[in-house]
Structure 1
């Protein structure tokens, strides 16, 4: 078996390692700070398919906040069809099968938020040579678009009726 993106060497299970970028990621911290779950959809390693995470009605309690038990990862369009040319990941037939992040594609300290750019204050995508995260954020506003996009992309939720965590629906489409 070999997938064109997101594959883990010669194994279906990654064993704690990430898959081969570009790969859309569903990320969870269950029972985290304040006895609540934290979840997000990350495009920091690029995009290969839309992923959404949604708490299932009746299993959570929400305070109604913008990021409290809401659906993460919705996109307005298929990024494979509109991926900026320099970020396209092509298969052997020349078809776009993924959209790399700037870090994955160019591997610079600035695009990867490391070295002199390792803090939220020094790694702002608006100061990059090309603001590629804006493309991801404009199309998938509730997904992480680069390393320090926490403020607009991290969701949280608590279980209801004695449950520590809600149930979640993770959709890959």
Structure 2
């Protein structure tokens, strides 16, 4: 019997080459800019999703009223960005009051400790449309205000996020203080999940579905102040926005 497994017709070969070219295609240049408008230094952290590039070694210091711009990947990329606060070197170790990524200045792909305000970003998807998706999440609590602004994009490209400083109004049961002993300053506002750890508040097990995972009085605190953010695991998916081919995506800490 003749083998048919390795032969491609000329048309099939053209199609196969087109698919390879599309899968490895590079998208137009795009800039990511992180801006610190806080009255103190923050240490931004960037964690790629599995299989994606680590950008800017995963973290760096950003003094007050400064910014840092760098080229975004020209291929598909997704991940999250947050600010670490209250970082110090002490006893030969680097650590942060919020958002710490295992005691490292450069997170190198590691995630951060809650509570922390997060932006979730997906670059260059949607095929020929070259879409960038973005949203701001308070599912893991709050540490600083954050907004995301796309520039020179096409279609619906709103500014989203949380401009309000929620630390002064954070309910007592959600407050993270540093130092914890002696009732230090409030540096973060925990989610209900982090504060109490129940399946219902964490949307785990039988609560892990859009039907059973619901808003709580704790997530409503965040939603009331910052309606354009995710505040629990199965919050409204329309809070993720898609912008076609922006030239720059700007993440701003504090306002």
TM-score where L is the length of structure 2: 0.58
The alignment covers a number of residue pairs equal to 156
DSSP-derived class of the 1:82 partner: coil
Aligned to 2:169: 82
DSSP-derived class of the 1:103 partner: helix
Pairing of 1:156-171 with structure 2 (within 5 A): 156-159=242-245, 165-171=246-252
Render the CA deviation track for 1:116-156: whole Å, top value 9, x for unaligned. 0000101111xx4xx21111011111111111113352111
Structure 2, gaps ≥5 residues long: 1-93
**Greater strand content:** 2
| Bigger Cα displacement from structure 2, 47-56 vs 13-22 | 13-22
Q: CA RMSD in A?
A: 1.5
Aligned to 2:228: 142
Aligned to 2:204: 114
Structure 1, gaps ≥5 residues long: 63-67, 160-164
Structure of larger gyration radius: 2
Aligned to 1:99: 189
DSSP-derived class of the 1:70 partner: coil
Deviation at 1:23, TM superposition (A): 0.7
Q: Any runs of at least 4 consecutive aligned residues in structure 1 with deviations exceeding 3 A, and if so which?
A: none
Deviation at 1:42, TM superposition (A): 0.9
TM-score where L is the length of structure 1: 0.84
From the superposition, tell whether residues 152 and 135 of structure 1 become closer, same or farther in structure 2 (CA, over 3 Å).
Answer: farther
